[in-house]
Amino acid sequence: MKLENDLILRAARGEEVERTPVWLMRQAGRILPEYRAVRSGMRDFRELVETPEKACEVTLQPVDLLGVDAAIIFSDILVIPDAMGLPYAMVPGTGPVFEQTIKSAKDVDALAIPDPETELKYVLDAIRMTKKELNNRVPLIGFAGAPWTIFSYMIEGGGSKTFSKARKFLVTEPVLAHQLLSKITESTINYLNAQIDAGADMVQVFDSWAGVLSPSLYAEFGTPYLKRICDEVTRVPKTLFAKGAYFALKDLASLNCNTIGLDWQMDVQNARELTPGKTLQGNLDPVVLYGDEASIVRQTEAMLQRFGVRRHIANLGHGVYPDTEPEKVKVFIETIKEYKHTEL
């Protein structure tokens, strides 16, 4: 059946749209009291991710409560290393923690290429449920972490400001690093294709830690694996979001993706010049949503003017911060919906 609102898919494909579409990274989460109510009844974050009925419920909330133009399945990028045999825990106040990390060839060899319909069935079930509940109102976005970002957690054991252990591994164990990245990439391709089979209308790859690498390291250990994903996940529009990797925009533009996400520190005009033929996504600074209504409207409209009406999906330059007021988010969304581009 045809989607009632396919603005985001058309914008990604470079087709004409009546207005700029909008969604937010981390839109299903702690900004919404309704999410916190669901979360309060769960043992921990992982239980929510791994319970399809609840993951479906919180995925739908931003569509119903905020009026965004797409849902994004509620999950986590770290389900991939977990399914490969490297479990993680979400520690309150700390974030993800891996009790075991990858240190040797033996560790890499022990990792599996998971069957998504087995080890990741809970995500696929959540997608199937959400598609049914959305009833073709808006598209559903699936996602995965980029191989380098997943690799960085598997080596480092958790979050880090510098990911120096993971970066050291690239320099001291390059052959083994490529072996691990290849395993992650194959797992990710299978996972994204399974999400599409389950009903995802679009997918996004998050390279959250791209910006900690030098251009030369990213060219060797980042971009080639994104290329494999783009070449082997082909049935729906694809978005690449490499946070902090302004140096890689030209290389990303050469890949078989539709949309490139920009963080809030990237210059729109420069990005347009480096990424001809691509749709751009972003890139309002999330802190703007702490301001008053007038400043949110003013800065959102300025963002829309910078991008223009063609080939733009409005979003923040990173995930919405958890202490942002939902009413401020609504101002951002409604400003985009009501904005009239002069060229229309």
pLDDT of 193-202, one tens digit each? Answer: 999 999 999 9
Whole-number Å distance between alpha carbons of 332 and 201: 24
**CB-based contact 273:289 (threshold 8 Å):** no
Average confidence (pLDDT) over 218-246:
98
User: Which pLDDT does position 312 carry in this prediction?
Assistant: 98
Cβ-based neighbour number of residue 92 at 10 Å: 7
| 267 burial via Cβ count (<10 Å: 0-12, 13-18, 19+) | middle
Cβ-based neighbour number of residue 208 at 10 Å: 21
| Residue spans of beta strands (DSSP E) within 186-284 | 202-207, 238-242, 259-261, 279-284
Q: How far apart are the first and last CA of the chain?
A: 29
Cβ-based neighbour number of residue 298 at 10 Å: 14
What single string gives the DSSP state of each residue in 30-64? TT-HHHHHHHHTSSSHHHHHT-HHHHHHHHHHHHH
User: Which pLDDT does position 343 carry in this prediction?
Assistant: 59
- Does this model's pTM top 0.95? yes
User: Which pLDDT does position 92 carry in this prediction?
Assistant: 86
Please write the tens of the pLDDT for every residue from 175-210: 999 999 999 999 999 999 999 999 999 999 999 999
Boundaries of every domain in the chain: 7-338
Whole-number Å distance between alpha carbons of 226 and 207: 9
pLDDT > 90 in the chain, percent: 95
CATH for 7-338 (3.30.930.10, 3.20.20.210, 3.20.20.120, 3.30.565.10): 3.20.20.210
Please write the tens of the pLDDT for every residue from 99-116: 999 999 999 999 999 999
Average confidence (pLDDT) over 82-87:
98
**Nearest 10 degrees: Cα torsion 334, 338, 341, 344:** 130
Active site residues: 26, 30, 39, 76, 153
Residue type, 214: S
Residues 129-147, buried b or exposed e (16+ Cβ, 10 A)?
A: bbbebbeebbbbbbbbbbb
Q: In which band, very low, low, confident or very high, does the pLDDT at 344 lie, cut at 50, 70 and 90? A: very low
**CB-based contact 313:21 (threshold 8 Å):** yes
User: Which pLDDT does position 323 carry in this prediction?
Assistant: 96
Whole-number Å distance between alpha carbons of 194 and 192: 5
Q: In which band, very low, low, confident or very high, does the pLDDT at 293 lie, cut at 50, 70 and 90? A: very high
Please write the tens of the pLDDT for every residue from 328-343: 999 999 999 999 887 5
Cβ-based neighbour number of residue 25 at 10 Å: 22
pLDDT of 309 > 90? The answer is no
User: Of all residues in the chain, what percent are helix, strand and coil, respectively (each to 5)?
Assistant: 50, 10, 35
pLDDT > 70 in the chain, percent: 99
Task: Between 43 and 222, name the one with better pLDDT.
Answer: 222
**Mean pLDDT (the chain, rounded):** 97
Among candidate residues 46, 59, 136, the one with its CA nearest the CA of residue 92: 46
